[in-house]
Chains A and B, each alone.
Chain A
Amino acid sequence: MNKIMIYPEKIKSYGQADEAKVFCLLTNSEYIDCFVISKNNHYDQCLIVAYDGDTDFDDVLNDTIPNHCHMLTILPNCLLHSVSKESLDKRKLLIMACKSGKTSLEGVEHFLRIGEKIEPDEQVNFSNKFFSKGEASSLFTLANPTMGLECTFDHLDEQLEWHEQLGELEWGDQQVFPSGEIACFLVPLKIQQLDDDVKFRLNGKIALNGNVIVQSGPPSFLDSDQERIFQHLSTTMYAEVVLDIKEGEIIQAKASNEKSLPAEKMLNALFTVDSRFRRIYEVGFSINTQATPWPGNTAMNEICGGSLGRIHLGIGMLPHTQYHLDMFCDGTVVKDDKGDILFGKASQPATDEVKKMVRHRSVSCPCIEI
C-alpha cells in the first residue's frame, strides 16, 4: 500500500501554540516504513521511532524522545500501559487504540483523517452541556421510544467515575486519538480486584443495536476466537438483543428476532463461563460526530457518535475478564427527569446546576489497555 501521511499540524488535540519543538511517531518496527510525516509543520524535528513493547516505555521516553514533544503512537502489535504524567513531563501523548481490536493500516489511516478534523473546543462545549444537563437531572432514563423500552440510570451515584476523552492536551497529558467519548465507569480504572457487591444502578430494559467491539488485553486469547466472538455479537447490527437489567446485572439477553440469535447465544455462553460478563461496567457516550465506523473489530469505532451522539454499554472489565465488550445501543436516547431528550436524538439547553457528577479528564482510555 501507499505510505500513510501524517499531518501533525492538523491535529488540534495537541492544543494551541505551545513550545513544542518535536513531533514523534511511535510505531512497531514492522510498520516503520509505512508512515511519512508531512513537512508542512512548525516543528524543528520530526521523528519516527520503533517500539515493540519489549522495553520499558519510560526508558524510551528518557533515552529517545526529547521534551517539548508532541507524540502519537500507532502500535498494532503491542499493548501500551498507561504512562504517568511525571514520566511524560513536557510531552503530550496521543494514542491510537489499534491493538485491543484488530485495526488494519487502512483503518488507521481512516481514523488519522478523522482525528485531523476534530475541533476540541466543540467537543468540550458538547461535554459541558451534557454534564450541565446531567447535574440538573435527578435521574437519567435510557429510552428506546420505538421499542417502548426504558432503563433507569442513577447517574449521580457518587461511586461512578466519569472519564472524558476530549479537548486539548496539556503538557504531561495523554488521550486516545481520535477523541470523542464520555465514559461513565462503575469501578476505578486499574482496580486490583472486582467486587461483586459494587453494582451500577441500572434497572430496566435496553436494546443492543449497532456495531460492537470485542477488546482484548493482557489475558491470553486466540485471535480467531476474538474474531468469531466479534462476528457473532455483531449480529446486533441486524436486529436488537434486548437486555433485562437489574442493578447493573444482565438477567436476560433475548434476541428480538432470529437475525440476532448468534449474539444472544454468544452472550449467554460468555455469562456461563464468566458471570462477570453479566455486569455492566461502563455506560459510554460517543460524541465524535465526524467519525464514521471502520469495518471489523476496531477499537477506535468506540468514539463514533453518529449525528447526535450514540450510547454504548461496556460489558466485562479488562484485565479481569478475558475481553471487554463495547456494544452500541442505537435507537436509545438519554432522557432527563423531565422526560426531555438530552443525548441522542435531540439536545436541551442547559439548566441550573444542582448536583455534581464527579468528572475526570481522562489520562488514558478507561476501558482498555492500549
Chain B
Amino acid sequence: MIKVNAHKIINFGDATEATYFCLVTNSQLKDQFEINIEKKYKAYKIFSLDNADDFVALMKNDMPDNAHILVVLPSVYFKPPPADLLGGQRKLGVLACSSTPSDSESIQHFIRVAENTDPVAQDVFADRLFSLGEKTKHLLFYNKKTKTEAVFHHLYDHLSWHEQIGVLDWGQQQLLPSGEISVLPVNVFDQNIEVALDVTGELTLQGTAILHSGTPSFSPRDQQRIYEDLATLNDDAVIASLDGGHITSLKAASKKSFRAIRALEALMYTDSRYSTLLEIGLGVNTNHDLIAGNSAMNEVYGGKKGVIHLGFGLTPYTQYHLDILCPDTALYTAEKEWILGETAHLSDQIGEQVIG
C-alpha cells in the first residue's frame, strides 16, 4: 500500500470544515492507496483517471468544489489545467511522476518527501535569492572541487523565473514535492528553443541526472539506456565550456564519465538544441532524499544548502529534457556573496579566471 498522510502535506495550507482531500490516480493504482486525513479534512475521495482528456469532465462533474487535490498519474502525461477549470476553492498538487518511470516504491518515497517538505523554509531561500540577485550585475557559478567558474547574466527581461515553492493559495497549483526555482528564456515557450541563458565559462556536470520524456515518441528502453549512460556523471565529472549559453566543448575528467560524454555528444550531434543551456534550476527542498534511478522528482533535491541543476532540451520540441544536478557547484553574486549551494573552502579564489 502507498500511504498518504494528507494532513502532513503543508503545501496545501489550511483546510476548512468543508474541504475534501481528493486523490486522482491511474485506475491500476486506485486500490493501492491508504489515505490518512486525521481531522484536517471533511473526508477523502479517490478518483481514477487514465486519459488526460477526461480530467475536464472529472473536475466539472465529480470533484468537490472545496478540495485539496493530489494528482498521482504515472501513466498519464498530465497538463496543468487552466485557472477557471481548477476553480477558486480548490488547490492542486501534482506529483511529477510521468516524465520518468515511477513505480509504487518511488511514489511512496516522494509522498513521504512531500509530507516532510517545509514550504516556508523554501520561501526563505527564494527571498534571499531574489533579494541578492536583483542587487548584483551577474551571478557566478563556482565548483569547489574542479574550480570551474561561469558567469550568468541573469537580469534580462526575456528571462522567466518560476517558483515551485511555498504554501498554495486557493485556486493555485504546484508540482510536488515542491522546492524548485528555475529560470528559462521566455521564448522557449514559443517554440524558439535556440535562445540560451547567457552563461559563459566552464560548468562542471557531476551528479544525479534526470532524463525526462514527454509527448514525442520514444522507446522506454532507450530512455533507460541513455539515463544509465548519463548516470556515470555520478562517478566523475564532465567539464562543459559555454559561450553565451551554448556548449562549445565537453571534456571528461576521466574514463569513468566516458559513457556520459558519449551520450551527451550523440544528443547534441543529432539535435543541436541539446547544446543550448535552457534552464538553470535551483533545488531548495532540504527535506529531500535522492532516490536511485531516473526520477523526475529528484529535481527539487536541495541537499543542505540548495543544489543547482542545469537543463538541456525541452519537450515537446526535443525528444527528451535533460537535468543534471551539480551539488558541488555553488551560486554567488558578482561580489562573491554566497547565495546557494555547498560553499567553497577558498572563496577568495572565485572569479579569478572569469571575465565578468
Q: Which residues of A contact B (CB under 8 A)?
A: 194, 196, 219-222, 224-225, 228-229, 265-266, 268-270, 272-276, 319-322
Contacts and interface: CB of A to CB of B under 8 A. Distances in A.
B253 interface: no
A270 B219 CA distance: 13
B82 interface: no
A281 to B, nearest CB: 13
Contact of A222 (B269, B271, B319): B271
- Sort A-B residue pairs by CB-CB distance and give the 5 closest, nearest first: A272-B266, A320-B217, A220-B317, A269-B266, A269-B269
A266 B269 contact: yes
A274 B216 contact: no
Q: Most chain-A Cβ atoms within 10 A of its Cβ — which of B266, B267, B318?
A: B266
A273 B230 CA distance: 12
B154 interface: no
A220 B216 contact: yes
Contact of B272 (A220, A225, A276): A225
Contact of A273 (B217, B267, B272, B316): B267
Contacts of A228: 272
Contacts of B318: 220
A272 B262 contact: yes
B271 A225 contact: yes
B267 A222 contact: no
A229 B270 contact: yes
A50 to B, nearest CB: 24
A270 B222 CA distance: 12
B260 to A, nearest CB: 12
A219 B217 contact: yes
Contact of A319 (B217, B218, B317): B217
A365 B130 CA distance: 55
For the residues of A in contact with B, the DSSP-based class is: helix
Interface string B298-319: 0000000000000000001111
Contacts of A270: 266, 270
B221 interface: yes
Nearest to B269: A269
A219 B216 contact: yes
B219 A196 contact: yes
Contacts of B219: 196, 274-276
Contacts, number: 61
A268 B156 CA distance: 39
B121 interface: no
A268 B265 CA distance: 11
Contacts of A265: 269
B221 A275 contact: yes
Given A220-B316, A222-B194, A322-B319, A273 B221 contact: no
A271 B303 CA distance: 36
Nearest to A271: B266
Contacts of B225: 275
A273 B271 contact: yes
Contacts of A266: 269-270
Nearest to A268: B266
Q: How large is the interface on B (under 10, 10 to 19, 20 to 34, 35 or more residues)?
A: 20 to 34
Which applies to chain B's interface (DSSP): helix, strand, loop or mixed?
Answer: helix
B159 interface: no
Interface string B197-238: 000000000000000000011110110011000000000000
B195 to A, nearest CB: 13
A83 B266 CA distance: 37
B270 A273 contact: yes
Interface in B249-292: 262-263, 265-267, 269-273
A224 B267 contact: no
Q: Which of A224, A265, A272 has the most CB of B within 10 A?
A: A272
A327 to B, nearest CB: 16
Nearest to A272: B266
A54 B272 CA distance: 28
Contacts of A275: 219, 221-222, 225
B217 A221 contact: no
Nearest to A221: B271
B186 to A, nearest CB: 18
Contacts of A225: 270-273
Contacts of B319: 219, 273-274, 322
A129 to B, nearest CB: 38
A105 B180 CA distance: 50
A229 to B, nearest CB: 7
Contacts of A320: 217
Query: Which of A220, A222, A322 neighbours the largest number of chain B CB atoms within 10 Å of its CB?
Result: A220
A160 to B, nearest CB: 22
A222 B316 CA distance: 13
Given A225-B273, A269-B270, A275-B219, 19 more contacts: A196-B219, A219-B217, A220-B191, A220-B216, A222-B271, A222-B272, A224-B272, A225-B270, A225-B272, A228-B272, A229-B270, A266-B270, A269-B265, A269-B269, A272-B226, A273-B266, A275-B221, A319-B217, A322-B319
B346 to A, nearest CB: 39
A269 B194 CA distance: 21
A222 B265 CA distance: 17
A234 to B, nearest CB: 16
Given A220-B316, A273-B226, A322 B221 contact: no
A220 B270 CA distance: 12
Nearest to A317: B217
14 contacts: A196-B219, A220-B216, A220-B316, A221-B271, A222-B194, A266-B270, A268-B266, A269-B265, A269-B269, A273-B266, A276-B222, A319-B217, A322-B271, A322-B319
A222 B267 CA distance: 14
A331 to B, nearest CB: 28
Contacts of B263: 272
Given A222-B272, A269-B266, A320-B217, A274 B222 contact: yes
A196 B266 contact: no
